[in-house]
Every structure is written in structure tokens, then in C-alpha cells.
A and B are shown apart, each in its own frame.
Chain A
């Protein structure tokens, strides 16, 4: 991969690859506009893996779709900004957005089968990307170009550790297992040399041993191609193993964001704490689960004040009255919780 040229320039100026601030998104449900994302903010630096965790309904996938400009028809952005390499994405024309997306963002989803064309071989699908983005190839001229695209497709498969790539490149998606398909989708994401890869629950549908293979592949790519990754998952284990920083979402807002080690060592937001306690390890005798009481509120009927307060063991009168401000507790750590309002500085 010769992405060094494009990357080196930006790295010096340290413009974040992705900077989302105060992003609010509304969904139309049963004729009403419901706030689905509430002033979400996150930043990813080049070469960084950001884990975005939350349960279903937390808004993590909606955040990803907003970045890619792929919001569903019943959604609208109500405010905020999304900057890719310093360039504002929101409000761009569909065409400009398409160009920007094609150049800088690649998405990988949970179900690889639906993102591969069943009637084209794996090689044809990867080669097509080169055809659409001629600048990715250095060779000139029709015939050599095509041969070069094919060669690069095989290289891409090799990069994602597909055994025997010369044979696999000739295969159709249905001839490959789920794990192999997911690798192909990752390879297709990587050949475009995107600035940012968004991976949305990409191992959820896979068996555990295959999940381990994909996760170690991601860990490897992170070193070899300095992958900048927005890793969306509900699994705290995956975050712990792969992410540099973590953003925890609950019911449409960011409740805590922090460096991964700090978060796992000393989570501050009661929801982060609870989430970590519900994840048992299989080590050291009997595991202890500490269930969180209640369930995530419906978007259509959110509680007043802090959305976590009905389930929070530490809730006090303030929590049901107003939404907590985001507080910068330590360097690099932001928490939205009333518990810390006394001592900390508001962001």
C-alpha cells in the first residue's frame, strides 16, 4: 500500500481525520420528529482507532451513517458539524458528498453478503474500484492497467490474509465463508486508501474463532497500514483489545469519552461503570455480572434530564431535572454527568 504520500502531508498539521461536534439528528417516527442524536461529539486523529460503544438504540450506527451521508430517509440533521480532514460534510451537495466519501471514507458493515455483488467474482469487484478511481493505479494504458488492477486485487486479498489469493480472486462471493467474505469487504475498503474506515459491528455475525481471526487482522492492519478506524461495537472486550480511545454512547448522546486504559481502569460515568460490570471475564473463579436495572428508554419517550437517570444507582434530584453538561475531567476525558459538576471545569 503506497498511501504514505497522501498521509504524510496531513499528519504534520494534525488536522483530525474526523471531527464531529454537537451533531444532532432527528428521526421521524409515527409522524413526530424525535431527537435521536443529541449533540454528539467525537474526534479521530490519523492512525487512531476510536471505539464507539453502546447498546442497540444508543445512536452509534446513526452516528456512522451521518458521517457517510447515508442517513435513512426518515432522518434529518438538526444541527452540528462533521468535518473530514477539516472539510465540512454537512450541507454539501449530493455530488460533492459522493466524491468526498469515495475518496476518504470506507464503511464495513455487519453482514458482508449484502455488500458483495453475487454475480461478479471477487476480483472483478475489487478491480472495478480501480477502474472508478484511476488515480489509485500508477500504470498507464488500457491493457496494462487492467492487468495491474487484477494484480493489485490479488495483493489486496493478500493484505487481509486470505490464503491462496490467486484462486480466491476468481471466486464468487457465495463460494466463500462468512469470514472470508468479511475479509474481502475489508480488502475492498482498503484498496481505496481511505482516510477513515468505519467498521460497524463487523464481527457480530461471525463465529467466535472467526471473529478472533478478523480482530487480529484489524490489529495487524492497524500496525502495517496505520489504519484510522472508527470501530463500532457493543462488545467491551473488542474495544479493550483494539481501541486507543473510547466513546461511550447512551440513548443518543455521548456519556463519556476517554483514553481506553483510563476508561477501563476508572470509568467515571455510572453507565460506563455499569457497562463494564455487565461484561464478565471467564477468568479467576466465578464471574460476577452486575445487571443494570431497567431497560434503555424508547427514543419516542425519553426521560427528562439525564437519560440514564432512571437506571442510575447514583442518581440524585438534579439528574431528573436537567441534562448534564459535558465536563472535561482530566486531559482527554469528557464526562456528561451531574456527579462531577462540583469540582470539574465545564468544557
Chain B
């Protein structure tokens, strides 16, 4: 679709696994293995999956910290592989990322003021220091931090303050598209709600587009318009958030949803629908990658890899027996 702000077409990223002597490659990890999706302007696109599914690798590809092994990534219609120096600065200004570890994302020797204004100069957002400081202060105000934090070092801030600060730093350069990689995994539950509502508010106020990456389905559900579920480097299901959470078709999605302990003692179900653990991405299962954990797997699942296809209008899934697990969605209390 041409109106996509961001697009991935058949994107793959394979990593050589060391272990060989003399730099010989022993094996390849297919961290991302043929992923395509588009994000429309103003959307929040949620990418959910367990460890090793490749969701963070996609984030790294999108900010050009990694180059894809195959496929094409585009932003505003421009191929990311073909950005010249000038276009690159422009790209960095428009695409920002908030990493999951806010403490690690800050230079331990830099005061918060320096942390906020450095990118404004390196990305040529402002011309002089006064303008930079003004912009930094405005960004602080947006995320609800006091000016007083400017003279502090990272270790002198609380977890919540650091998270807000890295958001402020990303927003200060004036991006159009922001990648949020596990934005609340390092904060407590009461702060999680604060950070998420802040992010939702900023999105409305600044007209942003988000790619939200999380292992937490609740966070994804709360924030996203469209959701893609990843498993071992592939998208297994993708639909609007409403559709995906109310009518999941892939057994893995059903397993993820039903794995969440419902905070209601009357709804007593803990359903462990996925067997065993996520297999190592070095040794991918044959056929459907999920078959080794799927309680509904048949012979065909072990032999043939199901393609991602449109199962219902706007609802994509990669399963030989879509909807087979639908009845396993646990009891839900009335809302």
C-alpha cells in the first residue's frame, strides 16, 4: 500500500553463529525470516512475541543499527538501504527509538541536560545552545519531568524518571515515527500505567506513529491499532487489535492470550496451551515452526510451512488449521 509510512517487504536478518575456528560460520540464526507489513501514518502497530521471536531485531533494522540480509525496508517511500549522508540525518530526525533499558540508554557520565541537547546538535535540529536548551526544557515538560533533573546523572534518577527522560530525548528531535521497544518492561506496575498513558497522550499531541514492541499482550492491547504476532522470526498472525484479541485464529496467539493470568479470582483458568519451550532459533523445526509446541499439530504441520494468508477480511494468519484453538480461549468475565 502506498499510504504506508513504514513498510517491510520480505525482510530477513540472519546472523552467523560463531563456534567455528578461524571465523568459519558454524550455523545461521534466522532471527527475522521473511517479514512483511506496513504501518500507516498515525497508527500504533503492535509487535508481540516471546524471547527470540525477532521483534527487537526488526526494531534494529528499522533504525539502521543492522542491515537486512534480504528484503526491503522503506520509510516515507524511501528505501532505507539507499539513504545518502544528508538523507540519513533527515531519517534519524524523523525516526526515533526508545530502548527497553533506559538506564543503559544513557551515557553514565552525561548530565541529563547534555543528554537532551547533544542529539539536537548532532542532528542539526537547532543552531545554538539557547534554542537547544529551550527545546530540551519543552521536551521535559511534555513528559512531565521537572527542570531540576537537568543537572543530574543517570544513576541519580528513579526508574520512572529515566524512562520519561529517554522518551523526552527521542521526542526533542521532533520525530514522526517512534519505535517503542518494551517501553515499560523495566518499571513497576503503577508506573507502567503512567508511562503508557503518557505515550498515548504524546502520540495524540504530536501526531506520531508508533511501532510498539512488547512481550506483554496487555500493553499491546491497550496501545495498538494493529497487532502482529511473531514466532521464531515470522509473523504468524496479524489483524486489527480488536479482531486479533476477540477472534484469534492461530493456536499460538490463543496460547499467548490464555497464558495471561486474569486478575479475577472468579475466572479460574490458567491455561498452558503451548507445550514445552520456544525451540532454539538455530535449529528451527521443520514445517510450521510452531508445530513442536502446538497441541493441535497434524502430520501436514510437520511437513509443510503454512504461508501467511488473509483468513478473514484484514485478518492474516499462517496456520493449516486456523481457528482450531478458538474454543480454547478461556472464560472471560463480562465487561
Tell me the A223-243 residues at the B interface (CB within 8 Å).
234-243
Interface residues on B, range: 35 or more
CA distance A43 to B171 in the complex (A): 49
Chain B positions within 8 Å of A264 at CB level = 263-266
CA distance A47 to B171 in the complex (A): 52
Q: What count of chain A residues pass the 8 Å CB interface test?
A: 50
A236–B193 CB distance below 8 A: no
Tell me the A207-229 residues at the B interface (CB within 8 Å).
207-213, 215-216, 219
CB distance from B92 to the nearest CB of A (A): 31
Chain B positions within 8 Å of A284 at CB level = 332-335
- Contact partner of B217 (CB less than 8 A), chosen from A178, A208, A296, is A208
Q: Looking across the interface, which residue of chain B has its beta carbon closest to that of A215?
A: B270
Residue A274, interface by CB 8 Å: yes
CB distance from B78 to the nearest CB of A (A): 34
Chain B positions within 8 Å of A56 at CB level = 188
CB distance from B253 to the nearest CB of A (A): 11
Chain A positions within 8 Å of B258 at CB level = 212
Contact status of A295 and B160, CB under 8 A, knowing A234-B188, A237-B260, A284-B334:
yes
Residue B122, interface by CB 8 Å: no
Residue A276, interface by CB 8 Å: yes
Residue A98, interface by CB 8 Å: no
B263–A237 CB distance below 8 A: yes
Contact status of A295 and B218, CB under 8 A, knowing A210-B277, A289-B197:
no
Chain B positions within 8 Å of A4 at CB level = none
Residue A100, interface by CB 8 Å: no
B259–A282 CB distance below 8 A: no
Q: Looking across the interface, which residue of chain A has its beta carbon closest to that of B200?
A: A289
B51–A282 CB distance below 8 A: no
Chain A positions within 8 Å of B188 at CB level = 55-56, 234, 296
Q: Which 6 A-B pairs have the closest CB atoms?
A: A284-B335, A237-B261, A212-B259, A291-B193, A209-B274, A289-B193
In the assembled complex, 18 residue pairs joining A and B whose CB atoms fall closer than 8 Å, in A order, are: A208-B216, A208-B259, A209-B273, A212-B259, A212-B274, A213-B272, A234-B188, A235-B261, A236-B263, A241-B261, A264-B264, A278-B192, A278-B193, A284-B334, A284-B335, A291-B194, A292-B190, A295-B191
Binding site for A on B (CB under 8 A): 50-51, 158, 160, 188-194, 196-197, 215-218, 221-222, 242, 245, 255-274, 276-278, 293, 332-335
